Structure 1
Amino acid sequence: MAAPITADQWVAALRAEGVTDIVEMPGWRTHNRNGVGAWGDVHATMVHHTAGEGSGLADWCYNGNSDLPGPLCHDFLARTGRLYLVGNGRANHAGKVARNAYEAVLNEQSVHPAPGPDELDGNAVSYGMECENSGEAGRDWPKAQYDVAVRVQAARCRFHGWSANSIWAHKESTTRKPLDPRIDMDQFRRDVAERLAHSASWNPTDSTPEEEDMTPEERKLLTDTAAAVKRIEAGMTVKPWTYKGKGETRDAYAHLLDIGRGVKGLSATGLTPAQSDALAKKVADIIAARLQA
């Protein structure tokens, strides 16, 4: 269970995550739909596209219309990378969502299933970010916009102690929005997970001295090995486990046993024993250096 973040906490979390171009819309701190429906506890954070581009979108997200009053999201992200803070509390963004889709983010599952029938109130349990994009095939997300989108969702997850698997797209929550947004959400979650593996002040161009010492061949071996582990986990009978810092030792032990049974599959990488040993030593050295830092 997670109580919603406060307005002051949200601004601080964004700035800590490196989001600096922020517009606080007038009254956003108390702008919500709390009077007409539940808000919290929260368990997820959703990504949308606006399905249109141009000036006035921030106001549209704030005001909504007679059929769907605002706020229509918590945050609106322009193509320039400028973030508008729109609402704080319940917002009209998700609508009804599928139970299986909600349970996937609630349980931080790495696989997000095709949504079933709409059953639950998504507005009560999820934050929402609207990103300026037409939604047309081939329409890009500018680098600055995508970078801020990753930072915004990382800030939500970092504050609540969530993994990147607490992020979902509107298209993953309901069959009503099959293209919203038209980006690879698995890659998006991987990019957020990469941020969460570092401090909030980290930038993608940053690297540690240990990482710089790795040769291209060693980096490739590490990537290939990680891919092999992912294939092993995909075939496990026990779903991949994410540590939540709650002393869940028995669950962790079961997960490690399951990984152990699948380690034979690492031969699929084509690594020789000598290469595996060298790679393991390199990774161990990096971990040891970071623990001593």
Structure 2
Amino acid sequence: MAPPLAAAQFAAALRVEGLTVVEVGDWAGHHRNAMGPWGPMHGVMIHHTVTRGSQLTVDLCRDGYTGLPGPLCHGVITKDGKVHLVGYGRANHAGLGDDDVLRAVIAETSLPVDDERTTDGNRHFYGFECENLGDGEDPWPAVQLEAIERAAAAVCRRHGWNERSVIGHLEWQPGKTDPRGFTMADMRSRIGARLGSTTPDVPLPAPKRPKVSLARLREAARTNPGMPGTPITYDGVRVWEAALVDEGLLAKGRLDGHFGSDTQEATSRWQERCGFRGRKPGQPADGIPGSASAGLLGAKHGFDVIA
């Protein structure tokens, strides 16, 4: 039986474990406690988000969506290895799960197959949502996997739990698949190894910065807005669009990797924000990424623009 950590203790434990922690707004007072009890705490649950883009992911996990109000977890672990604290208290992340699984987590023994939805998991588990599309193809950067390991170990270390107190959503509720792309057995092995060592005093390694081809970005910008049929696709467009979403220039729903007319208009507004204008007086910027405006967006949002 473990009462929940105080919010300040939770954040401090993550930082002591060497994590970069981002406190989002009034996270410590953002919860669903009016809907039911929170605690005693018995474990940590890991999820994937089925999203792309750090800001979009953090906002969704903080605010929730129609039919499922936020917070949807306590911490969001983005692909760069940062932990964004979005809520603290009861959160809509675990749902109803198997009481046999809960007993195994409490006893820190092997997990049975989850085949019931009888027990309130939101009451008993800390939740970490991890940015990933969950399709089995979206990669898990090494820095993100290490952050998941460290975050789970931080909570276990503070409570005196071992790695068997950490489970995936797929091990709790029938029909769930998250997290997909790594196994919880492997993650628990990593967490166990970390808990067997002394508390780390070194930060996570710096994440690798995405590289975006300016030539391919310009090709998509010139072709896709007015092109019938299947547009040119390029992963760098998603990186570009995610940065525009973070700047508040592009609606989240238009982040599709297609560089459509909305993305071109958002790019034009970014160019004007950088001081660029059209060729004629009063004419808006053309919305075709140039080296200067692209370099400025990349420098601000963590990607490198290459030729």
Q: TM-score range by the shorter chain?
A: 0.5 to 0.7
Between the aligned partners of 1:91 and 1:79, the Cα distance in structure 2 is 22
Q: Distance in 2 between matches of 1:22 and 1:204?
A: 11
Counterparts in 2 of 1:48 and 1:179: CA distance versus 1, 3 Å: closer
Q: Distance in 2 between matches of 1:142 and 1:10?
A: 24
Cα distance in 2 for residues equivalent to 1:61 and 1:179: 15
Matched, 1:174 2:173: yes
The answer on 1:195 being equivalent to 2:194 is: yes
Matching residue of 1:63: 63
Report the residue type matching 1:122 in the other structure. G
How does 1:1-293 map onto structure 2 within 5 Å?
1-19=1-19, 21-54=20-53, 55-109=55-109, 111-201=110-200
CA distance in 1, matches of 2:180, 2:201: 26
**What's the secondary structure of 1:118's corresponding residue?**
coil
Equivalent-residue separation in structure 1 for 2:85 and 2:43 (angstroms): 18
Q: Note if contact 1:170-1:181 (Cα within 8 Å) is conserved in structure 2.
A: no
Per mean C-alpha deviation after superposition, the further-off stretch among 124-133 and 176-185 is 176-185
Give the alignment's Cα RMSD to 1 decimal.
1.6
Please tell me the residue identity of whatever aligns with 1:128.
Answer: G
Distance 1:53 1:123 in 2: 25
CA contact (8 A) 1:95 1:121 kept: yes
Deviation at 1:81, TM superposition (A): 0.8
Q: Partners of 2:64 and 2:203 in 1: how far apart?
A: 35
Shift of 1:52: 1.9
- In the alignment, the residues of structure 2 paired with residue 161 and residue 167 of structure 1 have an alpha-carbon distance, to the nearest angstrom, of 12
Sequence identity (%): 40
Distance 1:169 1:180 in 2: 6
2:49 and 2:178 map into 1 onto residues whose CA distance is 11
TM-score, normalised to structure 1's length?
A: 0.67
Distance 2:190 2:150 in 1: 9
CA drift of 1:138 comes to 3.2
1:64-112 Cα deviation digits (max 9, x unpaired): 0230000000000111111100111000000001112211211111x22
Q: How many residues align?
A: 203
CA–CA distance in structure 1, aligned partners of residues 122 and 196 of structure 2: 29
Distance of aligned partners of 1:202 and 1:23 in 2 relative to their CA distance in 1, 3 Å threshold: closer
Query: Does the 8 Å CA contact 2:75/2:87 hold for their aligned counterparts?
Result: yes
Q: Mark the CA change 1:181 to 1:137 in structure 2 (over 3 Å): closer, same or farther.
A: closer
Deviation at 1:43, TM superposition (A): 0.2
Counterpart of 2:88 in 1: which secondary structure? coil
CA shift for structure 1 position 12: 1.4
In the alignment, structure 2 segments of 5+ residues that lack a partner are: 205-307
Which letter maps to 1:60? Answer: L
Distance 1:63 1:192 in 2: 30
> Take 2:94 and 2:139, find their aligned partners in 1: how far apart are those partners?
23
Select between 153-162 and 7-16 the one with higher mean Cα deviation.
7-16
The answer as to whether partners of 1:98 and 1:173 remain within 8 angstroms in 2 is: yes
Distance in 2 between residues matched to 1:78 and 1:204, nearest whole Å: 16
**1:219-255 CA distance string (max 9 Å, x none):** xxxxxxxxxxxxxxxxxxxxxxxxxxxxxxxxxxxxx
